[in-house]
Structure 1
């Protein structure tokens, strides 16, 4: 559903929730005009979908238009107007109590209608601003989540982690990737533009117990092996076990020899399954990739499509942004980027699952050759608060800022990663910057046999082990973490079984949640948000 399909009452309801000034008898057209204004469209930096950054629970916050919004712990209405509901602070308190050893029930213990209402409220809260603005991509995201249980799992990380609030507080802390699943590993460039294989999504990265990544990763493999691989329960369990076993075995290696800093997977040292992926990813070449997917007929900029909307009129604006990015990040511009001249700019729509509806731009940088064969693409992707924030047990390891947090994760977990990777603020939004490499690719899960599913799961577990082991290299940990992880795992077979059993329960919970979500979605539950009226 888009704004034109929304009723006048729906638009009025959500505009008021955003605190927008409206005439009492505003027409639908007038409300649409207000919702389309920059102050209504722009999300403040540091805010998740609920509009609160949670950094100072006692302080009022202002949105991009300068209006005062309700504090996370303020559930009352003001001036007779309802306020957007938020459970962020309630879950922060729940997580703290759980981490301190109090026997506090978690949402995963809810059943029946109580659980369905929790799922509905959490998803509404996680997408409040996108729903309130009747963002077309947000409603497209809900359609996507309804169509596939694996998509639902991928797009509802906050729901998954609220079920874990405060868990495993006695376990060693690492820099957790935050959203581990089979499709968040792939081929990408390192600082020298050489293809490497590793974790390719750090949007949810956060310092947390090492088990959190394992539980989400094992659950992701179970669900994907069901929906994409069409494997039965016995085989799916073996696939999930391979993932956890790969992690456990590799952490033991790093605890013994400290080789994690030199363990990146490249074409020359990768197992055949990943070596084949390298070959597929690098088979075409930059010029062919640009021509096939991006160039207009004259190769002067982006071609217009459903997913790419050229905004060439803003080229000067983005040239200033690029220049500022180079200066602020002290980027050593590689020769292949020429003079960092902006050739064209486009809005990127419909990309990702969790990030659908967030602001994303592609910037075409003119390469050193005049034949339009070597241009670069830089992506500016709106960053938001991690789903783990406020839910993990307390840790002294904190990275401020949204895009800065993501950049920290990439720099710690990928040795010599993408040279363009960084962050910048523009128009009040925190953007992650990275290169869209022509050889960026991930594995086609549809093509995997059961044996290859197990092999791929094990490789991903090993890659995650390296990422965690690097937490004490360039990360914030000040001690060798691998021996602590090995000690905390205890009996390997028992540890693997514990993680997989948790994942199996989470898998079944996701199945029930998805059924309830689909029913709610069909009834229009995600066309409006929850408000506090008293």
Structure 2
């Protein structure tokens, strides 16, 4: 019988927190999702805030993607076992995808870590399951099928977690989901994945240079696309990025600094990214090596507290950038070699390559079977991440052999999806009533 490190075995935990209890969802008194979202606006660039809400208002799923803080508030009141891992914090299906390992192998894994923190493993699974229902319905899949796919994703997590208990520690650490190893039997699905793979392989700094830059007066510069990409440099902005890049270098290993020192910063723009991140300080930095055709394009992104920090006791991180980088290095199968962090003028940030053979599988272009397979792959990736950073034996023992937990989480996801639709309508009404102007 395994122990979870807290002096309680899995039977004691099940008695206190039955697996069926994870279906519970009740609205807290005085719950106000708009106030939670508006509170985040205080740390965002004011002129970009309308873009955030415009993107969130498109559908319940896009609202869900931008409302991680709302779900953090809601999850904090749900049953948990007390077993903590390094959670992604924003484990919706849009935050999984393809990226290149340092060796150039295409891998499938979590690819967003802005909210990562040490916390309850259940929270990642519940956000994933709810996103499968909302994401599936957004592309026309019925509720019954979406419920099944959410259930299957959680079952995939359970089965993978069980497998990890049989693995040696180092074998688990080196375990990766290689795209070429995914068993896809249907020809149309394999063809679509091959297209996504080819596109991901083309997403390099060289291709980013061709897409985002041009030559102006003999110098390579970013192409502006206001307000999404623009040169907006006050002295403070310019110093933030230039000096911040210097402090960032100190967080890299000596051999990575040696490579980076062969590049020089030649241009910087502010770049709007994602849905949840719209309005946060984010810059694209153009560095050139031996000549104008030797690029390295980096993303410098502001990092504040995780949306889960108000509900957890944590002081393990030097700053927000360190939290993101430490979390990514702990749970992603193969991190960007230039991933690092820094602090300047009380602003926390982290740095990564803008394009590192990153790719995503467009939900609207895959059939129901493909969507199911995709959700299961997300569940597997989460299991590897949690197993590497927490007590995999305790989690597996708690989950057991039955489908009770998966059924409960799918029930929760259905309830939360319904609530998200109501929250989305509230946002739309607020926009129509010009409450965000």
Aligned to 2:143: 233
Structure 1 residues 377 and 292 mapped into 2: Cα distance closer, same or farther (>3 Å)? same
Aligned to 2:211: 292
Of 302, 315, 320, 1:382 maps to 302
**SS in structure 1 at match of 2:352:** strand
Structure 1 residues 140 and 266 mapped into 2: Cα distance closer, same or farther (>3 Å)? same
Q: Is the 8 A contact 1:289 1:438 kept in 2?
A: no
Aligned to 1:522: 432
Cα deviations by residue, 1:313-341 (Å, 9 ceiling, x for unpaired): 97787554433322354452377656131
Cα deviations by residue, 1:356-386 (Å, 9 ceiling, x for unpaired): 1111111111134x3x333011111001111
Aligned to 2:250: 327
Q: How does 1:74-89 map to 2 (within 5 A)?
A: none
Alignment length (residue pairs)? 403
Aligned to 2:201: 282
Bigger helix share:
2
Aligned to 2:39: 125
In 1, distance between residues paired with 2:315 and 2:251? 24
Cα deviations by residue, 1:473-498 (Å, 9 ceiling, x for unpaired): xxxxxxxx111111111343111101
Structure 1 residues 334 and 447 mapped into 2: Cα distance closer, same or farther (>3 Å)? farther
- The two structures, once aligned, show a CA RMSD in angstroms of 2.8
Q: Does 1:445 align with 2:357?
A: no
Structure 1 residues 334 and 416 mapped into 2: Cα distance closer, same or farther (>3 Å)? farther
Q: Looking at both structures, which has the greater relative contact order when contacts are Cα pairs under 8 Å and sequence separation is at least 6?
A: 2
Return the TM-score normalized by structure 2. 0.84
Structure 1 residues 336 and 244 mapped into 2: Cα distance closer, same or farther (>3 Å)? same
Q: Does 1:364 align with 2:286?
A: yes
Of 200, 211, 230, 1:309 maps to 230
**SS in structure 1 at match of 2:294:** coil
Structure 1 residues 313 and 154 mapped into 2: Cα distance closer, same or farther (>3 Å)? closer
Cα deviations by residue, 1:366-414 (Å, 9 ceiling, x for unpaired): 134x3x333011111001111111224x5x7843421111111111012
Of 482, 485, 501, 2:392 maps to 482
Cα deviations by residue, 1:396-454 (Å, 9 ceiling, x for unpaired): 78434211111111110124411111111123210111111252211111111000000
Give the C-alpha shift of residue 182 in structure 1: 1.2
Larger Cα-atom Rg:
1
Q: Is the 8 A contact 1:336 1:367 kept in 2?
A: no
Aligned to 2:414: 504
Q: Is the 8 A contact 1:187 1:197 kept in 2?
A: yes
Aligned to 1:402: 320
Give the C-alpha shift of residue 239 in structure 1: 1.6
Q: How does 1:151-166 map to 2 (within 5 A)?
A: 151-166=62-77
Q: How does 1:9-158 map to 2 (within 5 A)?
A: 108-109=26-27, 115=31, 118-130=32-44, 135-158=46-69
Q: Is the 8 A contact 1:338 1:367 kept in 2?
A: no
Aligned to 1:467: 385
Q: Which runs of 5+ in 2 are unaligned?
A: 1-16, 18-23, 185-189
Q: Is the 8 A contact 2:205 2:297 kept in 1?
A: no
Q: Which runs of 5+ in 1 are unaligned?
A: 1-98, 100-105, 473-480, 528-534
Give the C-alpha shift of residue 311 in structure 1: 6.0
Give the C-alpha shift of residue 231 in structure 1: 0.7
Give the C-alpha shift of residue 137 in structure 1: 0.9
Give the C-alpha shift of residue 154 in structure 1: 0.9
